[in-house]
Homo-oligomer: A and B are copies of this chain.
Amino acid sequence: MSDRDQSLPHTVSGASNSGDALPPIGEHARQYETVRNAHETELIEDYVELIGDLIQHRGEARAADIASRMGVSQATVSKMIRRLNELGLVTSKPYRSLFLTEDGQKMAEVSRTRHDIVLHFLRALGVNDHTARIDAEGMEHHVSNETLSIMQRFIDQQTQR
């Protein structure tokens, strides 16, 4: 709580969208579909990204570390690792630490880049570091490449002055 509990702004400048017509049905459905799809990959990406970070910063990724950092039980991690294996994102021998496959490394890097852009963008916007970290974690999977590019441009403008 704390940082995230502040008075919610109650207005939007100019015409509120509430007055706008609803989008055409097909388009509307596609918007929700995009979100549902993002959902399916989100967790996977979070695990892969975290595993990449652990390898980079700690030299290895142990299940126990993943569990404590993700805030879930070891059993959950174990099950997830099996999935990542099936998806060809990690290789693992029982009771040994993990490695990312080439695909896994690629995914980790893309996720990491996106994450960083969103985080830097929020900070450049003026959001405090702690909140920015939390928001970035949730937002990263829902930001299109178009928006990412624009965020990057914004960061550049802010820092080059």
**A residues apposed to B, CB below 8 Å:** 3-14, 16-18, 21-23, 25, 28-36, 38-39, 46, 53-54, 56-58, 68-71, 110, 112-117, 119-120, 122, 125-128, 131-135, 137-139, 141-152, 154-156, 159-160
Q: Indicate if the CB atoms of A117 and B12 lie closer than 8 Å.
A: yes
| Known A8-B148, A17-B119, A28-B69; 8 more pairs at CB < 8 Å | A4-B34, A12-B116, A18-B53, A38-B138, A39-B39, A131-B144, A131-B147, A134-B144
Main SS at interface, chain A: helix
Q: Indicate if the CB atoms of A6 and B133 lie closer than 8 Å.
A: no
A156–B14 alpha-carbon span in the complex (Å) = 9
Of A32, A139, A146, A159, most buried by chain B (CB within 10 Å of CB) is A146
A50 CB to nearest B CB, Å: 9
Q: Indicate if the CB atoms of A150 and B126 lie closer than 8 Å.
A: yes
Q: Indicate if the CB atoms of B145 and A135 lie closer than 8 Å.
A: no
